[in-house]
Structure 1
Amino acid sequence: MDKRLLVSVFAVSTLLAICFPYAANHMFHYLAVLFKEDIDVAICILSSRDHFEHRDAIRETWLSNLRSDTILGYSVKAWFMVGETCCTLPMEDRLDEYDCHPWNPEPRNDSKDVAVFSGASGKDPDHVVDLVASRLAVKVLHPVVLKRIGILAGYGDSVTVTLWNGLTDEELITVSFSEKDRGIEYHGYRYQAIQPMILPKGFECELATNQSAPNPRHAGETGLRGAERIATNDEGVLLVQKLNDDRTNVEESTSSISVVSIMFAVNDVDQLNTHIENRYERQRLWQDKMAQDEEKLKEESAIHGDVVSVGVLDVYRNLPQKLLQCHQWISDHFNVKYVLKTDDDCFVDIQNILSSLKKIENRTKVWWGSFRDEWLVERYGKWKERSFASSVFSKFACGSGSVVFEDLHQWLATNSDYLHAFEGEDVAMGIWLAAINPSYIQDSNWKCDKTCTTGLYTLPELTPQEMRRHWRNKINCDDPCKTC
């Protein structure tokens, strides 16, 4: 920009700031856009803070191409996006390895039977129940022995309760309650005994009745009074969540009663107590690791200049927020035509991508990737999603890589503060963009698994060693899938 023009713009902006603050805001926004660098392709690489080897492998391999000013006529820049802070809890002391909620079980002296829910405090006429939940999700944090399955007393006769494996949806146990066999009542629930079953650490299951839960407003018609006080009593070895009929989580702020319950005993009490006793030593070691990683990350960032810390806690469940902040950061600093998202365990063939991009450029609202359509929503495991009520996801691109064109990128950046953060970034992207009906370009060269084929754009789930091997193949044979 001409120096005289710069001086004039600055003088006008200063005058506006003094006399007309509102107009000045618009002028300063214009200036910010004016001075942003123009690049064609921005690459957002989602990375974990401690994935030093993965980032080094990428820099030594496919990212080394970016040392040129342009590739096939495109200017390209890439950044690793990491969370600004890490979880301060050791992995063994979290409810879930993908999140950062503390697990604090209490020491035990015996393995007596425990009921998940207890209504022993009876009824409170001032207590109002908003929801009666007929489904229950359970995750085992320490091994337990399942002994009985229960139903809320007064729920009715001729009802069954079934226990499913959450990950496989396999039916494990079904118990029946009838007028003749009502079970044994205990603290507001009736229980039927089962063959004792050990549930291992990490096991996830779901209990549900064969009847929909009644509306609390009509609870009196079914013998359920809205004033029941039902408290969790699981001794910290189970993570219990009441579910709606669509299998989404009942909000914690909702006053609710669970229709179903289980009775269990803690298995291997000594092991649990040993885990609790070693908590402080684990914390000390974890703090040492955090400090080492912080210093290492600062050094890495200073050397390479390609690590961007965005304002999220660096755990798996926060990847959707990390992705949104990636778009926001790029938009704040650059004018870009295309944004490519990938992960730090993916091989990316930039030349192939840019060569194909030439055939589809100059279009609008384009999302280019390999898409999954009518994909069933998973409620358990690493990819669980309990805040999306539909049984299938909106169309989404698999996570190894995809490209959004400028208008979609700007929409994501502008609306990033208002978009709901679902559990996984790939499905979240599909839900977000479905609202504006993008133009999907399906291309199977964006690989969804490790099947290596000639002409691929990306290859996911690689170790640093595998990344280097595919790069050697690319250099020596012009094909990452071939060995010369």
Structure 2
Amino acid sequence: MATNQNFWLFSILLAVVSLALGYFLVQLTPARDNFEERQSLRDSWFGFAQSNERLMLKFIVGNEDCLTHPEYRRSPYGCTPSNLSYENIDKEVMAVNISRTSQEEKDVAVPLPSRISFQVHHPIIIQKLGLYWRGASSSMTSTYQVYLFDDMNEETVVQVMFSSSSPGVSLGDYLFKPVESFILPKDFQGSVVVKPLAGDYGWLVTPGGSLTLETGGNVISYMQFSVFITELPKNPAMKERERVLIWLKVMYRWDEPQTANLPIISKDVSDMFAGNFMFLIHGSEELMETVKQTDEKRQEWSTEIDRVQKRLQEENKKHRDIVLVDAVDTYQNLPLKVLLFHKWLTDNVDFKYLLKTDDDCFLNIRHILKTINKTTFPESNAWWGNFRYNWAVQRHGKWAEHHYPTTAYPAFACGSGNMLSADLVKWTAKNYR
């Protein structure tokens, strides 16, 4: 599988386009600086396909590079800058801090398990795990488990227990316990999770004031996930009206009758944090050096962007097989590039089918065209391929979907090869916003 130095994979799309004279179009979406990869394709099946008069082949490339140097991005797949600073070096940072505007500020009861999720942009050392508890520790009637979970590898890193007999040390509105020191590397994605030891679900009163999430100078960032439920939880200890009002605030939008019974994105995710943690920055000298080199790296990257732009223009002038679409060229923008190509295709070409394949696939163009000619395909509402069913939505990693409203995708065709009829392509182009 081909990659460039910034870990951007390029995806291949094959568009089979029927024109008045029977021409076809093949389209690929590599990264801007994948010059060698594009040429290798021209020298293999892509070049062979160009000799077929029924085929027109195009590379689809974003018209902008990410202006942030790859070393200073939150993720190798996006363009969000990390904006690191070093003012918190050698300081123990508490992740969640509470500020109350009034002494009468009421707490909020939320369901457990509760989690606070984060991603590491410079290595940190986990020192303590915490539990929100505003009353006397003697009033704790349950035992609570607080653990650091590695979301990528789906395993517990370290855990502690809080109970009336072993409450830990009080610090502000939280109880804390020290844990074995673990260095969490750059790009680590994890969660601090709170759950009752006696079962998988429960309730805990959490802060109703304003919560501030400390990043330690952007060495970590917090990931907000949509919270979805299918029914209101039952809690005999709470009055019916209070129970509904809590979930009205956190979970539901009742002002729209047509969606009153459907789960939606939580607007008060800060109310869901029952856990806390404390950390130190690891590798302070390396962090200081990284921050000090910001301007130098920015200028270095600007020079590289200019070089890529000039070479890309020369390449397109020579081969005339590149289409620039209005997108910043990053891996996370591949779906956008596909949609923009759908729009370009709809506006510029009269076609019947669009066939997509991946960059690690060799296309037997002759066989594809022969199969299409011999097979009776419906000319509308057609989606042909090897389908996946009940495929779990990934919340972490390269393909993360933080706000997709279910735990599984609807059935979809694999990327190795699937074909859409023109009406579906035009529908996506029309409905793209």
Q: Please report the TM-score for the alignment, with normalisation by the length of structure 1.
A: 0.70
Partner AA of 1:241 in structure 2:
M
- Cα distance change on mapping 1:404 and 1:110 into 2, 3 Å: closer
CA distance in 2, matches of 1:301, 1:271: 41
Question: Could you say what secondary structure the match of 1:92 adopts?
Answer: helix
Alignment partner, residue 390 of structure 1 = 406
Alignment partner, residue 125 of structure 2 = 145
Matches within 5 A, 1:391-410: 391-410=407-426
Question: Could you say what secondary structure the match of 2:100 adopts?
Answer: coil
Question: Could you say what secondary structure the match of 2:210 adopts?
Answer: coil
Partner AA of 1:190 in structure 2:
L
Whether 1:81 and 2:60 are equivalent positions in the alignment is yes
How far residue 309 of structure 1 moved from its aligned partner, in angstroms, is 0.9
Using the TM superposition, name which of 239-248 and 349-358 deviates more: 239-248
Task: Give yes or no for contact 2:107–2:206 (8 Å, CA) kept in 1.
Answer: no
Task: Give yes or no for contact 1:47–1:343 (8 Å, CA) kept in 2.
Answer: no
Match of 2:213 among 232, 237, 242: 232
Partner AA of 1:403 in structure 2:
M
Task: Give yes or no for contact 1:44–1:342 (8 Å, CA) kept in 2.
Answer: no
How far residue 409 of structure 1 moved from its aligned partner, in angstroms, is 1.8
Partner AA of 2:60 in structure 1:
M
How far residue 43 of structure 1 moved from its aligned partner, in angstroms, is 2.4
Alignment partner, residue 443 of structure 1 = none
- Cα distance change on mapping 1:46 and 1:179 into 2, 3 Å: same
CA distance in 2, matches of 1:404, 1:252: 35
Alignment partner, residue 262 of structure 1 = 277
- Cα distance change on mapping 1:150 and 1:318 into 2, 3 Å: same
Matches within 5 A, 1:310-389: 310-344=325-359, 346-363=361-378, 364-389=380-405
Rg larger for: 1
Task: Give yes or no for contact 2:206–2:274 (8 Å, CA) kept in 1.
Answer: no
Match of 1:282 among 292, 297, 303: 297
Whether 1:56 and 2:35 are equivalent positions in the alignment is no
Cα deviations by residue, 1:366-387 (Å, 9 ceiling, x for unpaired): 2222322222222111121212
CA distance in 2, matches of 1:125, 1:65: 75
CA distance in 2, matches of 1:343, 1:301: 22
How far residue 150 of structure 1 moved from its aligned partner, in angstroms, is 1.1
Task: Give yes or no for contact 2:158–2:180 (8 Å, CA) kept in 1.
Answer: no
Unaligned runs of 5+ in 1: 1-35, 215-221, 418-484
Alignment partner, residue 179 of structure 1 = 164
Partner AA of 2:333 in structure 1:
N
How far residue 122 of structure 1 moved from its aligned partner, in angstroms, is 3.0
- Cα distance change on mapping 1:293 and 1:82 into 2, 3 Å: same
- Cα distance change on mapping 1:225 and 1:95 into 2, 3 Å: closer
Task: Give yes or no for contact 1:45–1:343 (8 Å, CA) kept in 2.
Answer: no
Alignment partner, residue 414 of structure 1 = 430
Task: Give yes or no for contact 1:41–1:337 (8 Å, CA) kept in 2.
Answer: no
How far residue 307 of structure 1 moved from its aligned partner, in angstroms, is 0.7
Alignment partner, residue 193 of structure 1 = 178
Alignment partner, residue 112 of structure 1 = 91
Unaligned runs of 5+ in 2: 1-18, 230-250, 252-263
Question: Could you say what secondary structure the match of 1:192 adopts?
Answer: strand
- Cα distance change on mapping 1:59 and 1:180 into 2, 3 Å: same
CA distance in 1, matches of 2:108, 2:167: 27
Partner AA of 2:181 in structure 1:
P
How far residue 82 of structure 1 moved from its aligned partner, in angstroms, is 1.0
Q: What's the C-alpha RMSD, in Å, of the aligned pairs?
A: 2.9
- Cα distance change on mapping 1:166 and 1:385 into 2, 3 Å: same
Alignment partner, residue 426 of structure 1 = none
Whether 1:45 and 2:28 are equivalent positions in the alignment is yes
How far residue 213 of structure 1 moved from its aligned partner, in angstroms, is 7.9
- Cα distance change on mapping 1:225 and 1:376 into 2, 3 Å: closer
Cα deviations by residue, 1:403-432 (Å, 9 ceiling, x for unpaired): 212222222222222xxxxxxxxxxxxxxx
Task: Give yes or no for contact 2:110–2:206 (8 Å, CA) kept in 1.
Answer: no
Task: Give yes or no for contact 1:46–1:344 (8 Å, CA) kept in 2.
Answer: no
- Larger % of helix: which? 1
CA distance in 1, matches of 2:377, 2:281: 63
CA distance in 2, matches of 1:335, 1:83: 23
Partner AA of 1:113 in structure 2:
E
Task: Give yes or no for contact 1:135–1:244 (8 Å, CA) kept in 2.
Answer: no
Partner AA of 2:38 in structure 1:
R
Partner AA of 2:211 in structure 1:
I
Alignment partner, residue 194 of structure 2 = 209
Question: Could you say what secondary structure the match of 1:95 adopts?
Answer: coil
CA distance in 1, matches of 2:290, 2:278: 23
Q: Please report the TM-score for the alignment, with normalisation by the length of structure 2.
A: 0.77
Q: Percent identity?
A: 28
Question: Could you say what secondary structure the match of 1:191 adopts?
Answer: strand
User: What is the count of residue pairs matched by the alignment?
Assistant: 368
CA distance in 1, matches of 2:161, 2:297: 45
Cα deviations by residue, 1:72-105 (Å, 9 ceiling, x for unpaired): xxx2222111112110001110111111111112
How far residue 282 of structure 1 moved from its aligned partner, in angstroms, is 1.2
Cα deviations by residue, 1:293-327 (Å, 9 ceiling, x for unpaired): 00011111111111111111111111111111111
Question: Could you say what secondary structure the match of 2:415 adopts?
Answer: coil
Task: Give yes or no for contact 1:55–1:344 (8 Å, CA) kept in 2.
Answer: no
Task: Give yes or no for contact 2:61–2:337 (8 Å, CA) kept in 1.
Answer: yes
Task: Give yes or no for contact 2:391–2:409 (8 Å, CA) kept in 1.
Answer: yes
How far residue 194 of structure 1 moved from its aligned partner, in angstroms, is 0.9
How far residue 165 of structure 1 moved from its aligned partner, in angstroms, is 1.3
